[in-house]
Amino acid sequence: MNNALVSKLQRAFVNHNQLLKVDSVARRLWPPVCLVCGRGSDRMQDCCTGCHADLPGVAGHCWRCALVLPQTLALCGCCTARPPAFDRAHAAFAYLSPIAGLVQRFKFGKDLVAGRVLAELMAEQLTAQQACRPDLLIPVPLNWRRQFRRGFNQSELLCRDLSRHFGRLPWLDALQRTRATAAQSELPAGKRAGNVRGAFAFRRLPAGVRHVALIDDVMTTGATLGECSRVLKNAGVRRVDAWVIARA
């Protein structure tokens, strides 16, 4: 069963790579435009050198939950008091302009070019942060109704793009949503953990997977990523990392 699943995913992975090859030819024919300033980009990316230099980084952050702090390699108060279920979080950026605007365009404006540039920027930053490469990349699943309305799951698209950068398979069958939840962004911080408690169930993983990275767009309290990590650890995964575009 596992072999069949792996080969199915590998085929999807190859098709996605072929699509990206077509995309890279198209970029040579039509030079990229910077999505931040709207001018022609001076690099083979939809983000020019000037805008790239001004992106809101996370120079200092909590090594466990990626909360932006005055200095890095410190543990924040929340992680000291109550460590999250994931072992290590990596956020490429702080959730500030223009990253926040690009995330909104991707998620709510259905701008897939914004999604692609965010995945590229995320891969660059996570490489610079020396994020440990997991066995598999797993997207946080979306409730089917929300996915139907949006037309896609932003975490899944990010996961597919990142899998190419990191040479790891995207694994879409690890988790499923067992019930619809209110959008985390509409709830106060104190109610977010309760909202997602029990909202995910384990489905399947290939044999021998020990270390995975969960992919999501934005981490605010970390409740969703924490709950997904708890489910994966209960299913026997030893290490779960959380990779996000931005930390709020």
Name the site residues for Zn ion (rule: CB under 5 A).
34, 36-37, 48, 51, 62, 64-65, 67, 76, 79
Q: Cβ closer to Zn ion: 23 or 54? A: 54
Query: In 3D, which of 246, 247, 140 has the Cα closest to residue 199?
Result: 140
* Closest CB to Zn ion among residues 10, 49: 49
Give SS3 for 3. helix
Closest approach, Cβ 95 to Zn ion, in A, equals 15
CB closer to Zn ion, 139 vs 226:
226
CB of 177 to Zn ion, least distance (A): 26
Q: Which is nearer to Zn ion, 100 or 235 (CB)?
A: 100
CB of 85 to Zn ion, least distance (A): 13
**What is the C-alpha separation between 117 and 129, in angstroms, rounded?**
18
Q: How far is the CB of 34 from Zn ion (least distance, A)?
A: 3
For residues 86 and 199, give the distance between their C-alpha atoms in angstroms, rounded to a whole number: 17
